[in-house]
């Protein structure tokens, strides 16, 4: 029972926590001298004050002048901006993007505090470089760019050794692991060990967007081989040059890794990222009831898309209850497309109470065209969305996207196919004729070249009245006469930070559908009617910490309501349950790490 004494004690302990987060906490270290300068977690470069230089054996190892954090920051930004200015006329955009990534990565390797501060303050400019889209290019060129390892690598050759290997990670605690096997990196296919760039980029977004402590995150590559022949034949390829493990061999390798992780850090959250569809679904089914994990491509994407679809209904001037009447054509029946449809159906069922009709207005296509009940060898996950061919006259199994758009006359066209340009001029013009008062286009495939269409193409061919969202960033489109076609970035980056932080701070033992649903609904309700009328479905990424505080709090509250919250640190589930909505947001906000130089104290 919740007692008054406990209540007062909890308030006191909360205020103690509050004060301790304002006064910089000392960081206890065991290193000394040059070792400190080579450790990006604690290095301050020329920012070490003289007292610390004396105490830590740094005197003489640095130029004599002490440069303040603000000066270091300004100096970095100046060199970054001058690179930008000097390359503005270069036609090779990928060369410029990689140069920008390199300059940020060098800082990341040297001084994490400064790196994360510049990232947080300039997230809108830097997210497209350290995350989607440049991260795709980085993965494609990984062997050439590799200088210094980051994260951990477990391979098929490490079977039997993973339990001891996990103890090689230098940090005592890990809160969040992002794991990939490199088999479906963005829309770029199997990139093998080069896919490590994705967990690194995602975790950078966790630190910037959710305030996870960078000393408690771990990017992991599970190298089970690659089926990309070009990589296997490349003598400089850094991964295993063998075909991917399959079947039981594959699953037992993942099992071994998971067991090792949970033995060392039983409360770590594991986010699965960019696994090919069969393993994405299989591992989610295998693990989701056993420990705190989620699949970002299936579940994070679904929440962001659902928030955008609900925003679209509002942008069309309809009531939210009208959502189940939206005709939605989804192109791509993979992990992301099926994840989106499943969550949209769950939302429809909640609104109508009718499971039979909830999927009726949703149409699904894969590389072989429209999926109907006549489809042979249909993946079980796609079965609920297979249409009766007689539903609309002229619809047939394998029907092309153009045929489907002409016959169905959808309100929404949503692409998660990984194929650039499939929303071509004809398709977009057919959507314009659909009769929807404000059709929406979600070209969600990444990176930019894999987007189903560009923003300019969408506004040009489907009309100026559309709502547009893409997975990778595009500039807003100038429509003439001062009118602007707004571009939204429908990317799971809006939700995974909040899902992860909410799971961590509630101490959830698993991540439930209700927690994911709460996250999506929170994001959907973030936007004002004025923004939505303009076609703005998602907030600016500049507000990512505020979004994450609210999303994270809704995840915490859902975890408590479902009784899967076990508490975090000294905050027990009862205390979580007692918090009001606002207090929960405050609790999440207060637990976000923020980059400041801490006084370093050497352990004797």
Ligand X SMILES: O=C(O)C[C@H](O)C(=O)O
Ligand Y SMILES: NC(=O)c1ccc[n+]([C@@H]2O[C@H](COP(=O)([O-])OP(=O)(O)OC[C@H]3O[C@@H](n4cnc5c(N)ncnc54)[C@H](O)[C@@H]3O)[C@@H](O)[C@H]2O)c1
Alpha helices by DSSP H, listed for 213-291, are 229-233, 247-264, 277-287
Q: Select from 133, 417, 434, 448 the one that contacts ligand Y (CB under 6 A).
A: 417
Q: Which residues are annotated as a binding site for a divalent metal cation?
A: 273-274, 297
**With CB under 6 A, what is the number of residues at the site for ligand X?**
9
Between CA 470 and CA 451 the distance in angstroms is 7
Q: To the nearest whole angstrom, how small is the minimum distance from the Cβ of residue 103 to ligand X? A: 21
Between CA 202 and CA 184 the distance in angstroms is 15
- Residue 410 vs 415, nearer CB to ligand X: 415
Q: Select from 193, 231, 371, 444 the one that contacts ligand Y (CB under 6 A).
A: 444
- Kindly list the strands in the beta sheet with 176-180, ordered across the sheet, starting from the edge strand earlier in the chain: 152-155, 217-223, 176-180, 269-272, 293-295
Q: Which residue has the tokens 């440049």?
A: 134
**Hey, is 562 helix, strand or coil?**
coil
The site partner of 490 among ligand Y, ligand X, Mg ion, none (C-beta below 5 to 8 Å per kind) is: ligand Y
- Residue 223 vs 297, nearer CB to Mg ion: 297
Closest by CA position to 139, among listed 89, 96, 201 = 201
**With CB under 6 A, what is the number of residues at the site for ligand Y?**
30
- Residue 209 vs 507, nearer CB to ligand X: 209
Q: To the nearest whole angstrom, how small is the minimum distance from the Cβ of residue 105 to ligand Y? A: 22
**Binding pattern for the stretch 433-452 against ligand X, x by CB under 6 A and - elsewhere:** -------------x------
Q: Select from 52, 175, 190, 297 the one that contacts Mg ion (CB under 5 A).
A: 297
- Residue 186 vs 466, nearer CB to ligand X: 186
Asked if 474 and 506 count as a contact pair (C-beta separation under 8 A), the reply is no
Q: Are strands 27-29 and 440-443 parallel, antiparallel or unpaired?
A: unpaired
Looking from the CA of 380 toward its CB, the CA atoms found within 13 Å total: 3
**181 sits near ligand X (criterion: CB under 6 A):** no
**408 sits near ligand Y (criterion: CB under 6 A):** no
Q: Which residues are annotated as a binding site?
A: 184, 273-274, 297, 446, 491
Question: Rule CB under 6 A: which of 243-272 touch ligand Y?
Answer: none
Q: Select from 175, 190, 223, 274 the one that contacts ligand X (CB under 6 A).
A: 274
Q: Which H or E element spans position 573? A: helix 573-578
Q: Select from 112, 274, 457, 521 the one that contacts Mg ion (CB under 5 A).
A: 274
Asked if 187 and 529 count as a contact pair (C-beta separation under 8 A), the reply is no
Between CA 448 and CA 421 the distance in angstroms is 10
Between CA 403 and CA 430 the distance in angstroms is 9
- Burial status of residue 50 (CB atoms within 10 A of its CB: 0-12, 13-18, 19 or more): exposed
**337 sits near ligand Y (criterion: CB under 6 A):** yes
The set of catalytic residues is 131, 202
Q: Which residue has the tokens 């006359």?
A: 409
Q: To the nearest whole angstrom, how small is the minimum distance from the Cβ of residue 351 to ligand Y? A: 24
How far from chain centre, in Å, is Cα 510?
19
Could you list the residues that contact ligand Y (CB under 6 A)? 184, 186-187, 277, 297, 301, 304, 331-337, 365-367, 416-419, 422, 444-446, 450, 471, 490-492
Could you list the residues that contact Mg ion (CB under 5 A)? 273-274, 297
Could you list the residues that contact ligand X (CB under 6 A)? 132, 186, 274, 296-297, 446, 471, 491-492
């Amino acid at each position: 029972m919740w007692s008054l004494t406990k209540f007062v004690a909890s308030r006191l302990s909360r205020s103690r926590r509050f004060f301790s987060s304002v006064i910089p906490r000392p960081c206890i270290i065991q290193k000394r001298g040059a070792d400190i300068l080579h450790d990006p977690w604690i290095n301050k470069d020329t920012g070490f004050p003289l007292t610390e230089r004396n105490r830590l054996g740094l005197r003489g190892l640095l130029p004599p002048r002490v440069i303040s954090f603000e000066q270091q920051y300004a100096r970095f930004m100046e060199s970054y901006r001058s690179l930008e200015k000097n390359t503005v006329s270069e036609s090779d955009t990928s060369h410029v993007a990689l140069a920008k990534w390199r300059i940020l990565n060098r800082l990341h390797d040297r001084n994490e505090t400064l790196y994360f501060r510049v990232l947080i303050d300039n997230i809108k400019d830097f997210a497209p470089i350290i995350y989607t889209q440049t991260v795709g290019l980085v993965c494609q060129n990984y062997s050439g760019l590799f200088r210094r390892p980051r994260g951990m690598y477990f391979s098929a050759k490490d079977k039997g050794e993973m339990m001891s290997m996990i103890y090689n990670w230098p940090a005592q605690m890990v809160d969040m692991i992002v794991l990939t096997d490199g088999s479906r990196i963005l829309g770029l296919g199997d990139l093998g060990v080069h896919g490590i760039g994705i967990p690194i980029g995602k975790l950078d977004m966790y630190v910037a967007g959710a305030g996870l402590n960078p000393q408690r995150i771990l990017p992991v590559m599970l190298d089970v081989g690659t089926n990309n022949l070009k990589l296997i034949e490349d003598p400089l390829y850094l991964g295993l040059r063998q075909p991917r493990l399959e079947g039981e061999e594959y699953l037992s390798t993942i099992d071994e890794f998971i067991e090792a992780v949970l033995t060392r850090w039983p409360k770590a959250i594991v986010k699965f990222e960019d696994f090919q569809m069969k393993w994405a679904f299989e591992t989610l089914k295998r693990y989701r009831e056993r420990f705190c994990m989620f699949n970002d491509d299936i579940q994070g994407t679904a929440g962001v898309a659902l928030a955008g679809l609900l925003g679209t209904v509002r942008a069309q001037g309809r009531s939210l209850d009208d959502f189940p009447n939206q005709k939605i054509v989804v192109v791509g029946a993979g992990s992301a497309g099926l994840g989106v449809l499943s969550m949209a159906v769950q939302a429809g069922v909640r609104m109508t109470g009718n499971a039979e009709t909830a999927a009726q207005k949703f149409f699904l296509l894969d590389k072989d065209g429209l999926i109907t009940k006549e489809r042979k060898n249909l993946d079980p996950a796609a079965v609920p969305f297979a249409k009766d061919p007689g539903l609309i006259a002229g619809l047939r199994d394998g029907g092309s996207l153009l045929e489907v758009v002409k016959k169905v006359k959808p309100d929404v066209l949503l692409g998660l196919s990984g194929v650039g340009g499939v929303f071509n001029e004809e398709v977009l013009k057919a959507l314009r004729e659909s009769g929807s008062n404000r059709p929406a286009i979600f070209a969600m495939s990444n990176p930019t070249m894999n987007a189903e269409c560009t923003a300019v193409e969408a506004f040009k061919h489907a009309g100026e009245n559309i709502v547009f969202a893409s997975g990778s960033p595009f500039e807003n489109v100038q429509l003439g006469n001062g009118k602007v076609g707004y571009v939204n970035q429908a990317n799971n980056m809006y939700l995974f930070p909040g899902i992860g932080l909410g799971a961590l701070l509630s101490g959830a033992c698993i991540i439930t559908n209700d927690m994911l649903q709460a996250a999506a609904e929170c994001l959907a309700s973030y936007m004002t009617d004025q923004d939505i009328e303009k076609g703005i479905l998602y907030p600016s990424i500049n507000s990512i910490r505020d979004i994450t505080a609210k999303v994270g709090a809704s995840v915490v509250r859902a975890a408590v309501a479902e009784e899967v919250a076990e508490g975090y640190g000294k905050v027990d589930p009862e205390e979580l349950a007692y918090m009001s909505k606002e207090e929960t947001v405050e609790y999440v906000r207060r637990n976000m790490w923020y980059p400041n130089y801490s006084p370093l104290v050497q352990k004797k």
